[in-house]
Amino acid sequence: FKSTFLYDIKQAEARGHPPASQLNPDNIIQATLKTICGFLNSQGGTLYIGVEDDGAIYGLENDYRYLGKSSNFDQWELNLRSRIESTFKDGRQIQCYVQISKIHREGKDIARVTVTRRNHESFLKAKNGYEFYYRVGNRTDNISIENLPEIIRQRDRQKE
């Protein structure tokens, strides 16, 4: 679960809830992209955006406000897909492994992002190059270059 994709709730609370356009969403966006990368590199998975860790529905409405006054789910999805394409090493090829759908619950929109396992390694752009993420249980780990061969061997065994 991720409460939002673009709207940093903690930053907003700490700054007295300024307009969404005055917040920097980079950390929140990166957390979502890391999870997607981890799913691509492990066994796949489903991420719900607009849902709190305890399962409460938060919704995407603050994300829509971040995108602009007349934003909706279609623009939100385009934004997510654009970021996938621009921040993954081979983002265009990754698009077919990521299915995004809107769910309406309790009067709010949430997103279901279903990620299929990829046979090739996926790398996410970072400040100093690219990083490799792998899903272990309910967390996403950044795998160091030293441990990458072991993870790749493990992935190959899981395919068999």
pLDDT at residue 91, as a whole number: 94
Provide the pLDDT for residue 51. Answer: 97
Q: What is the mean pLDDT of each run of 10 residues along the chain (160 residues)?
A: 92 86 88 97 95 95 88 95 96 96 96 95 92 91 86 76
User: How much of the chain, in percent, has pLDDT values that exceed 90?
Assistant: 65
Mean pLDDT of all residues in the chain? 92
- The percentage of the chain sitting over the pLDDT mark of 70, rounded to a whole number, equals 99
C-alpha of 64 from chain center: 16
pTM to 2 decimals? 0.90
Q: What is the pLDDT of residue 23?
A: 82
Using CA atoms, how far apart are residues 134 and 48, in angstroms rounded to an integer?
18
Strands of 98-105's sheet in order across:
45-49, 108-115, 98-105
- State pLDDT tens for residues 94-117: 999 999 999 999 999 999 999 999
The pLDDT value recorded for residue 147 is 85
- Full strand arrangement of the beta sheet holding 124-126: 124-126, 129-136, 139-143
pLDDT (0 to 100) of residue 159: 67
Which residues are CB-neighbours of 102 under 8 A, at least 6 positions away? 73, 77, 109, 110, 111, 112
